[in-house]
Chains A and B, each alone.
Chain A
Amino acid sequence: MKSKKIILSVFLALVLSASSFMLFGCAKKTSSANVYKLFDESITAIKEDVDSPFTKGTINYIETNFDLQDMTNKAGNGSTVQLSYNHYRTLAAVGLNFIEKYYPLLEDNNIKADYSKLESSIKDLNKKYDTLKEEHEKFNSLKDTNADYSIYNGFFYNYKNSAYSFINSTFDCANRLGKFLNNEAKLAKNVGSESMDNEGLEFYLDYNYLNIYGDFKLFFFDSCEGEPLDLTKSSSEFTLVNLSMANFGNVVMSKMSAKKDDLVNLLADEMEYVITIFSSLDSTRGDARKAMNKFSFYNFANSYDNDINAYKKVNSFANVYYDRVLNYFVGENSAIYRVATFLQSSLAD
């Protein structure tokens, strides 16, 4: 009796295992070719679509095929301030540039890996792009009319929100692509060694730059909730971080584009230091990101009238987080500035 029970249990276990394997085997697998095709179609559409809100241009010293158009709202009656959302344009350009540059590496690669996350991220990007295009078309049709500023800004509000979601998806997709090429394709595996090549080094730098712009995105999109804050004040935190982002584009990104075929020659002797500063930046990034998650610059400007003592009443570490965020982005001693300055001199002739 007892042995019968054992045989039955073993038989059931075998049946279950076999059916699981069969189901798993029959499931539609995402292949590298499929994902490449999806990326290719998506990026081509964003670039070439006649109704695309993107055009070829330069924003914050970054040349791109993806300069987001019409990112300015209209001055209200009696208001002298017209808000420019150039930080949206910069972030969109950086994220899409990265995808455009590196998705071709997905074609014909033989890496056995799970492509499902890459696939879902590009699908999500497509969805967000459709909404962005739709909202841009609505906004664009109104733009040249004499519509009242409040109606105009209402349409802009929807367009801006769709851009916000689109850029978040762009960074998610770019980060997944970067992570795949770094961890699975191991594109940067020879960086720092004698067999380092230009392609690997270029990817290593680009991936680090993407992370740096990811930090800027966290500041602008999460801590500032996407809004330009206190633009009337030349020394507002928003303005200072915005300038830091522009400076990074100027001294690093634009130089990098110009020297991309000569990176190994320019940096080979300094690779130990390059790796050190990027790993230093990596380790300090966690603190800066924690501070940005804990400190809302949006609330600081809008609810506490930029008074840190008022903010401290609800968040006793507010001043600590505030300092940490600014120390990361702003000033000659900030981590970002130090990295930019070093790369500027290294990438020079």
Chain B
Amino acid sequence: MAKGKDYSTGNGKRWLVAVGLVVLVAIIVVVILLCIPPNTYNAIETLNRSAQTTFLKNEQEDADLRVFSQKLKDNQRLHVYTSELDDVRIIAESVSDILDFYNSSLVFASSNKNFKKNYKPIKNNLNSAKSSQKKLASILNDLTEVAVTSSSTTTALSNGMIDFRREFVKWLKYNRSAISALGKSYTGSMGNILENNEASKIIINATNDYLDVLVLQLEKVAGEDKKDNSTDDYNYVSSSVVRAFENFVDTYLTNVNSGDITSYYFDSNVQAKYEKTNKFTSLYKEDNYQKIIASAKVSEGKILFDYAFDNVSDPDGVYAQVKEFLGGNL
């Protein structure tokens, strides 16, 4: 008969028990961490803070941008950048309006199921946008000093503009991702049918489309575009889209109480409008929204969209309706 293997007792066994306990505690801690639902209130608080302190809402940031913008305007070789900086201001204000819209809605969400699902992208992207905002503020602060002290002002401002633009695109991308996640949270979380209806769904999607187009366009020129008037390498083309974006946000997301979202159930014309817009989506797919947005042109103060489908007739006027919708009505 084989002799059983001798196991050590005493200290060896105690070690085994101790290691077992440590492993058990570690497993319990991991399980608890995995099972704890995300504290959605933190995301709402982060959103609230972000909405109230978006880029350029701070007086110092705003003043620094004005100084920087003026310096560019005064500089013969660099004044071409001023309209781009005007657009920066418009984009920042519109992003702020969008965050305000979600902030004033999501605090009343009747279900936080979708909020939980999107908790991380909301919180992380808003926090990253905040860090990016600090960098933007720091760049602006440096540039206002450079404008006063540097002997080679033109080169310094020109390089500063490149740095600023690169960071601004990052800031916009973070906000775009946060806003996209906020849109997903909104849909299905609002028990209030005055807010959760066809109009709000379409408006939220189109807002994301606008941000996607802007990010795409600005990304293309970030870091590469012209440094001064000595080259023709300046491909910034987003001004019309920015104007259309501003108009769209002002029409549909600012003062929501007077817009289509809350009047949807009270106004059959508004319902008909979104029925047509929906029909467009089913006929031509939603990615065409972005093509239409990218074709924005401002002509005599009006926003027009050049984009036309080849060989597409529009008997029901759905195509025209979408163009009208995207242009806002202000």
Q: How large is the interface on B (under 10, 10 to 19, 20 to 34, 35 or more residues)?
A: 20 to 34
Q: Is the Cβ of B191 less than 8 Å from the Cβ of A286?
A: yes
Give Cα A276 to B271, complex, Å.
Answer: 13
Chain A residues with Cβ below 8 Å from B107 are: 317, 320
Interface residue stretch chosen among A84-92, A136-144, A331-339:
A331-339
Q: In whole angstroms, what is the CA distance A270 to B188 when docked? A: 29
Could you mark each residue 276-315 of chain A with 1 if its beta carbon is under 8 Å from any beta carbon of chain B, else 0? 1101100110110011000000000000000000000000
Tell me, rounded to whole Å, the shortest Cβ–Cβ distance linking A113 to chain B. 29
On chain A, which size bracket covers the interface?
20 to 34
Contacts of A284 in B (CB 8 A): 192-195
Of B143-151, B167-175, B256-264, B315-323, the one contacting chain A is: B256-264
Residues B108 and A334 in contact, CB atoms below 8 Å apart: no
Judge whether B104 is part of the interface by a CB distance below 8 angstroms. Answer: yes
Q: Are B104 and A283 in contact (CB under 8 A)?
A: no
Taking a contact as CB atoms under 8 Å apart, the answer to whether A286 and B257 are in contact is no
Give the shortest distance, in Å, between B200 (CB) and chain A (any CB): 13
- Residue in A280, A290, A338 whose beta carbon sits within 8 Å of that of B108 in the complex: A290
Q: Is the CB of A283 within 8 A of B194?
A: yes
**Which of B49, B52, B104, B262 sits near A323, CB closer than 8 Å?**
B104
- Least CB distance from A260 to B in Å reads 25
- B45, B191, B262: which has the most chain A beta carbons within 10 Å? B262
Q: Report if A287-B108 is in contact (Cβ < 8 Å); known contacts: A316-B48, A327-B257.
A: yes
A338 close to B191 (CB less than 8 A): no
Residue of B nearest to A312 (CB): B52
Residues of A within 8 A of B262 (CB): 333, 335
A338–B104 CB distance below 8 A: no
| A176 surroundings in chain B (CB, below 8 A) | none
Q: A283-B191, A283-B194 are in contact. Are A333 and B263 (CB under 8 A)?
A: yes
B104 to A324, Cβ gap below 8 A?
A: yes
Q: How far apart are B310's CB and chain A's nearest CB, in angstroms?
A: 41
A149 interface contact, C-beta 8 A: no
Which chain B residues lie closer than 8 Å to A11 at the CB level?
none
- State in angstroms the CA–CA spacing of A342 and B193 once bound together: 18
Q: Say how far B67's CB is from chain A's closest CB, in angstroms.
A: 26
| Known contacts A320-B104, A324-B104: A286-B110 contact under CB 8 Å | yes
Contact B193 A279 (CB under 8 A): yes
For B52, the chain A residues whose CB sits under 8 A away are: 316
- In the complex, the chain B residue whose C-beta lies closest to that of A327 is B257
Chain A residues with CB under 8 Å of B191's CB are: 283, 286
Any chain A CB within 8 A of the CB of B266?
yes
Query: Could you tell me the distance in whole angstroms from the C-beta of A263 to the nearest C-beta in chain B?
Result: 21
| Residue among A286, A291, A327, A338 making CB contact with B266, cutoff 8 Å | A338
Q: Is the CB of A283 within 8 A of B192?
A: yes
CB A335 to nearest CB in B, in angstroms, measures 7
Known: A320-B103, A320-B104. A280 touches B45 (CB 8 A): no
CA distance A335 to B263 in the complex (A): 9
Shortest 6 CB-CB contacts between residues of A and residues of B: A287-B108, A327-B257, A333-B258, A284-B194, A280-B265, A320-B104
Residues of B with Cβ closer than 8 Å to A? Answer: 45, 48-49, 52, 103-104, 107-108, 110, 191-195, 257-258, 262-263, 265-266
